[in-house]
Chain A
Amino acid sequence: MNKRLLVVGSGASGVHFALSTLRKGYQVTMLDVALPKPPAACPEETLDGLKDHLSDPVEYFLGEGNESIVLPGTSDNYRARYFGIPPSRSYVFESPKAFSYEASGFEPLFSFARGGLAEAWTGGAYPLEDHDLRDFPFGYETLEKYYEEVTQRIGINGTADDLTRFLPLQKALMAPLDLDENSKDLIERYQGKRSLLAKKFRCYIGRSRVATLSREQDGRGECTYCGRCLWGCPNESLYTPSITLQACLQFPNFTYLPGLMANYFIADSQQHLTGIAAESLVDGQRHTFQADTYVLAAGTLCSSKIYLDTLFKATGEIQKLTGLMDNRQVLVPFINLHCIGNGYAGDRYQYHQLGLGLEMDDPAEYVHGQITTLKTAQTHPLLQLMPLDLRSAIKVYQLLRTSLGVVNLSFHDTRRPENFLSITPEDKSGHTKLSIQYRPRKGQGQSINLALKRLRGALAELGSFVVPGMTVIRPMGSSLHYSGTLGMSEQPKPLHTSKFCQSYDFENLYVVDGSVIPFLPAKNITLTLMANAVRVAEEAF
């Protein structure tokens, strides 16, 4: 077999598609902007150790230009405010100069990093079930073995519990990580009140599914509880796609071309792609690359832009890709009264360890929550929101720190025509601009209120109360689960893809990232993107 494949992008979908096709013997070339990850600072240190021993800890934690300081009354620090992206991971969200966008009703983040957006994810890895897949041209049965395959590849921890009713169980799951005191208290109290919570609030709590190793695998170390999760796992126990990219690089039939930004595909009159135009980030030179089959995996926003640019180059027309989706997210800070007075311990796993499911009348409208107990996160953004002078705020925070937590609620989204991506005409440098429009779903406000009411009630039963006035509805675009612009459809139609993610517009083009997702459930989609990419590689190639 010597068929040549060209994959655009090294994110979660691209690397797993590449790994599967490489194993099948395809000649795979990967085109990638590939902004590199800086090496981890002092990998052996704990978080507190970094603060004590780095020569310039303030620069490490707050950035060279203090970009991670969130100041009162300024809106320009959007990233720090909503995402808390530390300087050590800001490379994930940097953009090349040639890329630009305009957005209405949407606050997007782009990634041109080696490994893509999931280089900065929090590891939530949830399989979808049949309800979630109802608009997909296949069901859970089709995806099951690919979920299993990806679970083995990346290492996910989790266990059978009350969330299994929403999250099918993979055989390859590792044992869960040790719980921190606050999470442990919550889950123990839940055990005593589970039937009450199910009956009264239709609320279920269990262990999160997290792509972090609880035992060594493939040369990656198990979680050492160093407390540095938020600043980038120093020993790769938290999975990121660049780990799979490393695995791909071991194959002799793999060619990796970093430093190149794909612009558009070149199509002939038969709607057959004959090449891809890309430009070098170093000197701006344009290059053309050929393959037999092309695979878009640059992430929904970038893949869609390349798709739109390709149509524009081929036909001169500017098209709209409708159906853009993202999860609405709501952050609900709470205080666990039972943990007040516990001593601070920073050497714990820092991301969500508990998951929360709110069952709805329509199972597809399930609301998913991730419960993160606050331990090492930056405190100054929170302190300035407290109705106290800063000195008192620090004292109060110090007393309450070990009892604080936040539930990150996610809501489903559907493909709707009013939400679309398009491009503006080319500027002088020959680049188009991505144009994004998003309008929230009607009735979303009621869904949020209902979910919040039930959450407040459920938490109160567990001895925790939601801090009044501090719930934040994050802007659309915050969840980074962008999807739906080239949805899979069994009926052939333009600007869509087949069950095997093959474009209906160009016969030798496949799209394997979030663009093809026809319905976005509340559960984080990343695991499904990886499983679907493996499915396409296994079944269509």
Chain B
Amino acid sequence: MSKLIFITGASGYIGRLLLSKILQEEPGWKYRVLARYPEEYSPPAQQDNTVEVVAGDLLRPETYAQALAGVDTVVHLAAVTGAKSRDDYFRVNQYGTARLVQCCRDAGVQRILHISTIAVKYPDISGYPYAQSKAAAEEIIKTGGIPFSIVRPTIVWGLGSPTYAKLNQLARPPALITFGRATAQIQPIFEADLVAFLILILRQQIFANETYDLGGPERLSFEAFLRQIYIGKTGTEPRFIIRVPVNLIYSGLSKIEQRGGDRLPVKSGQLSAFMFDSIAQENPLFASQKANMLDVRQMIMTTHSAAVNRNACTQLTREARLFGRYLVGQSPDEYIQDKYVQASTAISCLTTPLDGFDRFCLRVASMGTLGLPLADTYCTYFYKNATLRKKLVVMTAILENAGPTFRCFQSQRKRSFLAVMFSLGIIGLAAGFSLLLAGLSLGPLHLAASLLRKTKGGKT
């Protein structure tokens, strides 16, 4: 059984997922994670300090060499991906890997799990420096003299994956955008299934110097995948498909890159996925896990609902800050924001506005400084059951029961009767003015909305 694991790239996309999952499943193991910027990295919640953060840089072995003492397995996830310069790819992916393997050998590390990419298998990687650098890294691992496993995932799908962000842009209503005919076959894998596969290797100590291709359980064309993403998002087929001529763009990008254009947002190599198949070669280990994996539809739906929740949470968190500032004059802390998000999701009458005007009031309120007091005032007098008021009451209830905001409901110092009366007078005047403004601005709209509803009701 592995006891002490060293992870590179723990703050990256897969690294974060792997560490939080493995901490749940193997809380008895110890972990050391390499972080270039430890002040910006916080490991997942854990018991008994099982995670030790090592401040260091893959390219400067002296910063982490000592931390490899006593380590029996290294998980090497760190890599430069995305649209970067050729030099960056090679410096980190090849040179960094070589330094790491050297240090591992010196420290007596017994096993290395290296995460590569399916792109190393593309028939032509001459214009794809990322794939070249990863292929070089594989060679270093294979010849490093330490028992290893290499995993080559295909396209990884999940809320935090780079692929998710990019393909979502291509599958936006009303059209679907593809590069070329997008007939290349792909085999996307869900992020959690990749993590489960890595944990399986670590737990069963499968280090027989093998390379494992890893995909999801289903193969389909790139265009079919984009179509499914579109349907998952909208529930309908795309109205039309825009096919961008991939060869033209590819050669254009290549030429610019050859002339030193390193700052392009997209690299020609990244288009390779549209041109070449990204499918995993069958192997017994992959086959044994297939039945537990999400198929394409499932992974799209799971990610889509997670994205919807995340967007709703973002909106509710914004609302919590706005309401907190409005009600007690201070921005609520994260705890209060979380409690507001939880309550707003759990209390059913807060999730669906009663009618169009109710929704309109929420929109006016979301405008903040001016809109919120106006909408609140209007609803207090003329629309008592408005969702906005319920939401504000929920926020009030939370604010009055948590520190430090509960003190905003208590008057700590003694004041004279006259001072209190003066304050009450000011509040009264302000409330009166607010009522006047709210009545003049929202009143006619409310009236129009109810007349419209009545007319509609009469017709039906």
Q: A384 and B389 in contact (CB under 8 A), knowing A340-B417, A398-B408, A399-B423? A: yes
Chain A residues 347-393 with CB under 8 Å of chain B are 378-380, 383-384, 387-392
Q: Assess whether B409 is in contact with A379, with CB atoms less than 8 Å apart.
A: yes
Q: Assess whether B430 is in contact with A392, with CB atoms less than 8 Å apart.
A: yes
**Interface magnitude class on chain B:** 35 or more
- For B326, the chain A residues whose CB sits under 8 A away are 391
In the complex, whether A51 has a CB less than 8 A from a CB of chain B is yes
Q: Which of A72, A340, A399 contacts B389 (CB 8 A)?
A: A72
Q: Which of A31-39, A56-64, A161-169 contacts B (4 or more CB under 8 A)?
A: A56-64
In the complex, whether A445 has a CB less than 8 A from a CB of chain B is no
A-contact 0/1 string along B254-268, CB 8 Å cutoff: 000000000000000
- The size of the chain A interface, using a CB distance under 8 A, is 45
Q: Which of B343, B376, B380, B416 contacts A341 (CB 8 A)?
A: B416
How far does the alpha carbon of A47 sit from the alpha carbon of B380 in the complex, in Å?
31
- For A401, the chain B residues whose CB sits under 8 A away are 409-411
Q: Assess whether B385 is in contact with A399, with CB atoms less than 8 Å apart.
A: no
Q: Assess whether A342 is in contact with B398, with CB atoms less than 8 Å apart.
A: no
Closest to B426 in A: A395
Q: Assess whether B393 is in contact with A384, with CB atoms less than 8 Å apart.
A: yes
Q: Assess whether A62 is in contact with B430, with CB atoms less than 8 Å apart.
A: no
In the complex, whether A472 has a CB less than 8 A from a CB of chain B is no
Chain B contact residues: helix, strand, loop or mixed: helix
How far does the alpha carbon of A388 sit from the alpha carbon of B430 in the complex, in Å?
11
In the complex, whether B452 has a CB less than 8 A from a CB of chain A is no
Q: Which of A58, A68, A380, A397 contacts B393 (CB 8 A)?
A: A380
Closest to B419 in A: A341
Distance to closest chain B CB from A56 (angstroms): 8
Q: A398 and B394 in contact (CB under 8 A), knowing A71-B347, A73-B385? A: no
In the complex, whether A43 has a CB less than 8 A from a CB of chain B is no
Q: A389 and B396 in contact (CB under 8 A), knowing A61-B401, A401-B411? A: no
Chain A residues 60-80 with CB under 8 Å of chain B are 60-62, 65-66, 68-74
How far does the alpha carbon of A346 sit from the alpha carbon of B411 in the complex, in Å?
11
- For B397, the chain A residues whose CB sits under 8 A away are 62, 66, 68-70, 378, 380
Q: Assess whether B413 is in contact with A343, with CB atoms less than 8 Å apart.
A: yes
Q: Assess whether B400 is in contact with A378, with CB atoms less than 8 Å apart.
A: yes
Closest to A68 in B: B397
How far does the alpha carbon of A374 sit from the alpha carbon of B349 in the complex, in Å?
30
Q: Assess whether A342 is in contact with B400, with CB atoms less than 8 Å apart.
A: no
Q: A398 and B390 in contact (CB under 8 A), knowing A65-B346, A73-B384, A341-B420? A: no
- For A399, the chain B residues whose CB sits under 8 A away are 411, 415, 420, 423-424
Distance to closest chain A CB from B385 (angstroms): 3
In the complex, whether B240 has a CB less than 8 A from a CB of chain A is no
- For A61, the chain B residues whose CB sits under 8 A away are 401
Closest to A399 in B: B420
Closest to A73 in B: B385
In the complex, whether B289 has a CB less than 8 A from a CB of chain A is no
Q: Which of A73, A390, A398 contacts B380 (CB 8 A)?
A: A390
Q: Assess whether A57 is in contact with B373, with CB atoms less than 8 Å apart.
A: no
- For A98, the chain B residues whose CB sits under 8 A away are none
How far does the alpha carbon of A311 sit from the alpha carbon of B40 in the complex, in Å?
74
In the complex, whether B192 has a CB less than 8 A from a CB of chain A is no
In the complex, whether B328 has a CB less than 8 A from a CB of chain A is yes
- For B414, the chain A residues whose CB sits under 8 A away are 341-343
How far does the alpha carbon of A411 sit from the alpha carbon of B394 in the complex, in Å?
35
Q: Which of B390, B402, B424 contacts A73 (CB 8 A)?
A: B390
In the complex, whether A394 has a CB less than 8 A from a CB of chain B is yes
How far does the alpha carbon of A68 sit from the alpha carbon of B394 in the complex, in Å?
10
Chain B residues 370-401 with CB under 8 Å of chain A are 373, 376-377, 380-381, 384-385, 389-390, 392-394, 396-398, 400-401
Q: Assess whether B420 is in contact with A340, with CB atoms less than 8 Å apart.
A: yes
Q: A394 and B347 in contact (CB under 8 A), knowing A71-B390, A380-B393, A388-B431? A: no
Q: Assess whether A380 is in contact with B400, with CB atoms less than 8 Å apart.
A: yes
In the complex, whether A396 has a CB less than 8 A from a CB of chain B is yes
How far does the alpha carbon of A398 sit from the alpha carbon of B420 in the complex, in Å?
10
Q: A397 and B431 in contact (CB under 8 A), knowing A62-B401, A341-B414, A391-B376? A: no
In the complex, whether A82 has a CB less than 8 A from a CB of chain B is no
A-contact 0/1 string along B420-454, CB 8 Å cutoff: 11011001001100100000000000000000000
In the complex, whether B412 has a CB less than 8 A from a CB of chain A is yes
In the complex, whether A402 has a CB less than 8 A from a CB of chain B is yes
Q: A387 and B416 in contact (CB under 8 A), knowing A69-B393, A392-B427? A: no
Q: Assess whether B398 is in contact with A58, with CB atoms less than 8 Å apart.
A: yes
How far does the alpha carbon of A388 sit from the alpha carbon of B327 in the complex, in Å?
13
Q: Assess whether A396 is in contact with B424, with CB atoms less than 8 Å apart.
A: yes
In the complex, whether A99 has a CB less than 8 A from a CB of chain B is no
Chain A residues 1-51 with CB under 8 Å of chain B are 48, 51
Distance to closest chain B CB from A101 (angstroms): 26
Q: A51 and B402 in contact (CB under 8 A), knowing A396-B427, A399-B411? A: yes
Q: Which of B376, B402, B408, B424 contacts A389 (CB 8 A)?
A: B376
Q: Assess whether A341 is in contact with B349, with CB atoms less than 8 Å apart.
A: no
- For B336, the chain A residues whose CB sits under 8 A away are 58
Q: Assess whether B403 is in contact with A344, with CB atoms less than 8 Å apart.
A: no
Q: A62 and B412 in contact (CB under 8 A), knowing A69-B393, A341-B417, A394-B328? A: no
Pull 14 A–B residue pairs with CB atoms less than 8 Å apart, ordered by A.
Answer: A53-B403, A58-B401, A69-B394, A71-B393, A73-B384, A337-B417, A380-B393, A387-B381, A389-B377, A389-B434, A391-B326, A394-B408, A399-B415, A402-B411
10 smallest CB-CB distances across A and B, nearest first, come from A73-B385, A344-B410, A52-B403, A61-B401, A341-B415, A380-B397, A389-B377, A389-B376, A380-B396, A58-B339
